[in-house]
Amino acid sequence: MKTIVVASHNPVKANATLAGFERMFPQAEFQLQTVSVESGVSHQPMNEAETLTGAENRADAAREEAPEADYWVGIEGGIEDLSHGMLAYAWIVILSDGPDAKGRTGGFVLPETVASLVRGGMELGHANDQVFGRENSKQQEGAIGLLTGNTLDRTELYEHGVLLALAPIKSSEYFR
């Protein structure tokens, strides 16, 4: 049985990670642990570089917390204010004995009502809760779930990013 340590207690990140590993490696058995660690970046990363750094920092910190594990996963959600609107996405970093692996979720444009609150200093999850009249949506369906009527929720979005990040581990012979 392989141990995966996710650098967050957020159930969305934990569930997406486990689902991604189980989907990529259906014959393997996994146990999941979560640890609370700091990202080393702002609570709301505002660009690609800061978001990726947060995911890297989380994965590194998870490895320090639980060095006996087989995989350490850092997931960091971020936004980027572009000319066509504010884009939301997440970076996933997976550390292992093999090649280090990185992947990113797809991105989507946020409504201007949410984006303006984020520009004003509010974290995306809190802005979503305010605009959509929700509570703790970042540990549930997230912005993408709220915007798609749960056709795609935050767990599914992050699972896709985990699958992309796992490609160098699944096909490690090409990443040596």
Distance in angstroms (rounded) separating the CA atoms of residues 124 and 81? 13
Amino acid at 139: Q
pLDDT tens-place string over residues 80-111? 999 999 999 999 999 999 888 999 999 999 99
- CATH code of the domain made up of 2-106+154-174: 3.90.950.10
pTM metric for this prediction = 0.94
Q: What is the pLDDT of residues 60-77, one digit of tens each?
A: 999 999 999 999 999 999
Q: What is the pLDDT of residue 100?
A: 82
Measured distance CA(111)–CA(127) in Å, rounded: 11
Give first-to-last CA distance, the chain, whole Å: 24
Q: Given a cut of 80, is residue 130 above it in pLDDT?
A: yes
Model confidence at 38: pLDDT above 80: yes
Which H or E run contains 29? none
Spatial CB neighbours of 102, under 8 Å, sequence gap ≥ 6 = 52, 55, 91, 92, 93, 94, 165
